[in-house]
Amino acid sequence: MSVSLAAKIEAILYVKGQPVTLDRLAEQAGCDRDAALEATLQLMDDYAHRDGALEIVETPAGYSLQLRESLNSQLQNLLPAELGVGALRTLAAIALKGPILQTELVDLRGSGAYEHVKELMELDFVRRRRHPESRSFLVQVTDQFHRYFQIDSLPDPVAAEENGQLVD
């Protein structure tokens, strides 16, 4: 059974969970940019005519599969704030390597880290402050992070490595 290009793009947007550029969609779907655009527009049209909870939108960062805007306010109070996989991985990187320069975090996690940091700041899991010797911010976890995840302290990666323990 052959999968349509639109279905491949839908799967990519679903798995990524964040905006994906057209060039990246084409690359990951194994097609040229024009074919990716045509399939994405077809998919957007399909979603626009469905009476469903999801939509595909174009954002400044790329195309995204997301909950319809009209449902956000209704569902916000039903579910506790949950972190997506990307934001959770960014939080883990900050916890293990922090305080870390935001530019280093972006190098480590990709440009989506900017949005993740914003989301994590709104949840009070991280804070950032200007680094005195750089134009970047220093990002680190907060006391709220420690309380929420019930962590008294984080391991010191340098000390753990010196003691022969593996630290990823």
* Domain annotation for the chain: domains and CATH numbers: 5-75 (1.10.10.10), 85-162 (1.10.10.10)
Confidence of residue 79 (pLDDT cuts 50, 70, 90): very low
pTM for the model: 0.48
Q: Please, what is the average pLDDT of the chain? A: 83
> In angstroms, rounded to a whole number, what is the distance separating the alpha carbons of residues 52 and 22?
24
Shortest CA distance to 52 belongs to which of 77, 70, 76? 70
Q: Which residue bears the tokens 């490595």? A: 161
Question: Which amino acid, 32?
Answer: D
Rg (CA), the chain: 19
Q: pLDDT tens digits for 30-60?
A: 999 999 999 999 999 999 999 888 899 998 8
Six-digit token pair at 113?
Answer: 């880290």
Q: Report whether 167 contacts 154 (CB < 8 A).
A: no
If pLDDT is split at 50, 70 and 90, which confidence band does 104 have?
very high
What token pair was written down for 83?
Answer: 């972190």
List, in order, residues 6 or more apart from 112 with CB less than 8 Å away: 18, 86, 90
